[in-house]
Amino acid sequence: MKAGRRALVMDDIGRRITSRALVAGDKVPSIRSCAARLGISPSTVVEAYDLLVADGVIEARRGAGFFVADKPQPFAVAETGPQLEREVDPLWVARQSIDTGEEKQKPGCGWLPADWMPVSSLRKAMRSMSSARIDLLTNYGSAKGETGLRRFLSRRLHDQGLAADPDQVLLTGSGSQALDLVCRMLLKPGDTVLVDDPCYFNFQALLRAHQVAIKSVPYTALGPDLAKFEAALTEHRPRLYLTNSALHNPTGATMSAPTAHRLLTLAEIHDLVIVEDDIFSDFEPDVSPRLASLDGLERVLRVGSFSKTLSASFRCGYITARPDWIEALTDLQVATNFSGPSPMVASLLYSVLTDGGYRKHLDALKTRLVACRGDAIKRLGELGFSPWIEPRGGFLLWCELPGQHDATELARAALQQGLVLAPGNVFSVTQNMGSFMRFNVSQMRDPGCYETLDRLLTGTLNT
């Protein structure tokens, strides 16, 4: 049995290395924390770590703990073991959110309920697509993606003050994939990337996959803390800054115009490239200052998708950038995906976006969200949660927990009760957000979720 528990530890570390949650030189969880997490004795962890050292997977540094060896050999430890409870890391929320069935409530997830989407419009578009041109249904798309959708996006960006030709729009398989392509073009292992603290949890997972160093700057209600931003540029010389300037994830804050202007000046001085992930822009009540527009796409790339307002099932995102970068990104997409999103899907989205109902759909979403947000703020307030700010739009609400509660522990306990939450530290590189929680106000319509939260806060956690 002891061998089985040792294998648990070895398998756990091996998986983290294989998935690049841990890379060469990273500190391995301490013996104490590993033992506590897996519910086994520290001496068993010591034995397992010794075996990993013998296998050359990790190495001990006197007085400093254990570290992933420079040339990790995960295959030696990748025995198939029982499915472990995952550490509550940035991938935890993602996997819980997308892998948990409809039977669980998900105030921690990052999307609207399915029945808020323009379903009849999607169904109609699918029916009409079933008699579409044969090549749309069977062929690879062009390297940059369907022209109609790129033209539409170009027009919309112009309307929002961003002059980008259709040739400066590259369609991708998703917003996440767009970010991934940008990282591939601009980064090499060992580079440093700046993110916000807190920031969208998957930024961390993505950047880990690119084997870059991640540094963060505290996020304020007006954007990143500028003094600390400047200090970070000087100290860390990052290649890239990855952010949401409008309706920031997880805080819901929006960057102010002076902050945006100052940020671009600093970027120019320090030769920093900025990626503006604009995935929530369609939820804004009015267009806020945007880095890509102010900068004229000189050193800012803008990324978007249709997953939040139309369908996350259709898998289509886009990048707007300088023509030479778009050309390089197109080559990279061909090299790694052969072509971009499904031409059938791109045509479908194009027809839904232009059938006249999209604007109305957005208006209805916004109205609905105002009501949901008010309700969530009131009910969460009754439980002692305090919103960090009241966002201008969107569905995210970043709240401080009442009392001394720890968000990660609350999320673990909530999962046992059928509630998927998004604890603050999964959004935080510094791990300073343990007293915060990100709520999705559209996913809290069932009063049962507040009752569960109440029970967890008042009772279960004290056992």
Site for its own copies in 192-211 (CB under 8 A): 202, 205-206, 208-209, 211
Closest separation in Å from C-beta 219 to its own copies = 22
Residues 75-104 that bind its own copies (CB under 8 A): 75, 78-80, 91, 94-95, 97-99, 102
Q: Which listed residue (39, 62, 324, 356) binds its own copies by CB under 8 A?
A: 324
Regarding 404 and contact with its own copies (CB under 8 A), the answer is no
Q: Residues 6 or more apart from 97 whose CB is under 8 A from it? A: 106, 108, 109, 110, 420
The distance of closest approach from Cβ of residue 20 to its own copies in the complex, given in angstroms and rounded to an integer, is 7
- For its own copies, the closer of residues 138 and 463 by Cβ is 138
Residue 268 near its own copies by CB under 8 A? no
Does residue number 334 form part of the binding site for its own copies (CB under 8 A)? yes
CB of residue 275 to its own copies, shortest distance in Å: 14
Of 29, 108, 173, 387, the one binding its own copies by CB under 8 A:
173
Report the C-alpha gap between 263 and 421 in whole angstroms.
33
**Of 117 and 421, which has the nearer Cβ to its own copies?**
117
The 3-state DSSP class for residue 203 equals helix
304: nearest Cα among 121, 164, 123, 139: 164
Q: Partners of 377 in the beta sheet?
A: none
Specify burial of residue 349 (Cβ count, 10 A radius: 0-12, 13-18, 19+): buried
Question: Is 424 in contact with 437 (CB distance < 8 Å)?
Answer: yes
Q: Is 269 in the site for its own copies (CB under 8 A)?
A: no
Distance of closest approach, residue 4 Cβ to its own copies, in angstroms: 16
Q: How many residues bind its own copies (CB under 8 A)?
A: 84
Contact between 343 and its own copies (CB under 8 A)? yes
Q: Is 18 in the site for its own copies (CB under 8 A)?
A: yes
Q: Find the binder of its own copies among 3, 56, 85, 135 (CB under 8 A).
A: 135
Instruction: Output 181 or 399, the one with its CB closest to its own copies.
Output: 181
Binding of residue 314 to its own copies (CB under 8 A): yes
Tell me the one-letter amino acid at 327. Answer: E
Complex with its own copies: residue 147 or 417, whichever CB lies closer: 147
Separation of alpha carbons 73 and 277, rounded Å: 35
> Which residues, 19 to 38, sit near its own copies by CB under 8 A?
19-21
* Tokens linked to 63: 């007085």
For the segment 344-403, give every residue that binds its own copies (CB under 8 A): 344-345
| Length of the chain counted residue by residue | 463
* Helices assigned H by DSSP within 115-225: 119-129, 134-138, 147-159, 175-186, 201-209
Within 8 A by CB and 6+ apart from 254, the residues are 223, 245, 246, 247, 248, 284, 288, 391, 392
